[in-house]
Amino acid sequence: MFDGAIRESVLRVGAPGARWLSTGWDGGYADADAAYNISVPEGWTRTDLTAYAAERRAEAGFDTTGPTLLTGVDATHARGARDESVTAYATAGVSNPAALPMAADETERAAGREPETDEPRAGTVNVVVGTTRALDDAGLATLLSVAVEAKTATLLAETGFPGTTTDAVIAGTDPTGEAATFAGSSTAVGAAARACVRDAVRASLRSRYADREIPNSVGDAEYGVVTARTTEVFSV
């Protein structure tokens, strides 16, 4: 379960009979034998994402459908990590960081750039994580949230940014495995997921940026946004 294979810049995570939860464009809950992370070429402009994903899977010789993520990071930088019942795969690039300043003096580092478009940008940090323990839909949602938390913590430590404008995560479970009621950070599943996501994201970043610099600010990046606005805070 959750074995990865890359062909034609398509990462396939095979898991016969798995249950998935995805934050990708075709997201939500799904039952499928695999999940995918597809690298798109520079200058890619396709908008018919379902058809495009099917074409790429066919070119790679993968004949099963499943939840899919798209990334501007080359698949050669994909890295995996495994611990006990959990396996995680990541592709990580920060050409489009999304900064969230905690204080006014941090907005300079973020370069004050507010979102200009709803269109996704290439780059992104994508994670596919799966456990051979059987989780119900609530547990699977918890696993996804744990993976997002681990991704964010790793990116903050490695890049200074909590994420990019296009990050996405797919979480999977084996319904035939030993049942696990919970998947939070204090559980065996959650602890393994945190460690696997951390190590996979870190390894992918180090591969991608082996011969290039991580942007020091949103202004130094090719794309990116900063959420510098303030809100009205009130008592409840």
Q: What is the pLDDT of residues 195-208, one digit of tens each?
A: 999 999 999 999 99
pLDDT for 169 equals: 98
Model confidence over 213-226: pLDDT tens digits?
999 989 899 888 99
Residue 233: inside a domain: no
What is the structure's pLDDT at 173?
98
Query: Does residue 167 sit within a domain?
Result: yes
Domain presence at residue 116: yes
| Interval 167-195 mean pLDDT | 98
pTM comes to 0.92
pLDDT for the residue 228: 83
Q: What angle do CA 166, 9, 150 make, to 5 degrees?
A: 40
Q: Is position 32 within any domain?
A: yes
From 127, 123, 119, 124, select the one nearest 22 (Cα to Cα). 127
Sequence-separated (6 or more) residues with CB below 8 Å from residue 119: none
Q: Which residues contact 234 (CB under 8 A, 6 or more apart)?
A: none
Region for 111 from its dihedrals, namely left if φ exceeds 0, alpha if ψ lies in -120 to 50, beta otherwise: left
- Inside any domain, residue 131: yes
Examine residue 236 and state whether it is found in any structural domain, yes or no: no
Domain that includes residue 162, residue range:
3-226
Domain count of the chain?
A: 1
CATH number of the domain enclosing 198: 3.60.70
Cβ distance 22 to 170 under 8 Å? yes
Q: Where are the alpha helices (DSSP H) in the chain?
A: 49-60, 107-110, 137-159, 188-208
> In this model, does residue 24 exceed pLDDT 50?
yes
| 235 within some domain | no
Count other C-beta atoms under 10 Å from residue 38's C-beta: 23
